[in-house]
Amino acid sequence: MKAQFTQGGGARPYGVAMIIGSTDYDDSPRLFVTDPVGTYWGYLAVVIGRGSARAGEYLEGKYDLSKKQTLNQAIQLALEALRQATESDLSADNVEIARIPVSTRKFEKLSRSETQAILGSSGTMANK
């Protein structure tokens, strides 16, 4: 879909990368990244954007393929990776959290208060 706009003359790619999460037909979580021209790759954990090198290094060191993580554990890992990549304190003003539980296969964006509660309980709220 991203590349469809560029099929006509004089159009340029949008210049965006996206992370797309889903739950597959067999209830397996899936994670993909697309580049500006629409090429995509599958990942177990991925980061894009500013600070992605530091966050990626953190994930490489901390993400354990041998252990099955709960959704809440995965959120905590993502928040720690984000904390590694930013100079700012994490708060509901600058962090949004969404999840796709395997049980429902539905995208859920957490409310501001839910996000703040997770940040407050995770110990990742402030940079250390």
User: What is the pLDDT, as a whole number, of residue 127?
Assistant: 43
Based on the domain organization, do 112 and 71 belong to the same domain?
A: yes
Based on the domain organization, do 27 and 59 belong to the same domain?
A: no
pLDDT tens-digit series, residues 55-75: 999 999 998 888 888 888 999
Based on the domain organization, do 109 and 58 belong to the same domain?
A: yes
Is 27 contained in some domain? yes
Per the structure, the complete domain to which residue 18 belongs is given by: 1-43
> Would you tell me the crossing angle of helices 52-62 and 71-85 to the nearest 10 degrees?
140
Is 126 contained in some domain? no
CB neighbour list of residue 69: distance below 8 Å, 6 or more residues apart = 77
Based on the domain organization, do 84 and 110 belong to the same domain?
A: yes
Whether the full predicted model's pTM is greater than 0.85, yes or no, is no
Based on the domain organization, do 103 and 67 belong to the same domain?
A: yes
User: What is the pLDDT, as a whole number, of residue 38?
Assistant: 79
Based on the domain organization, do 59 and 108 belong to the same domain?
A: yes
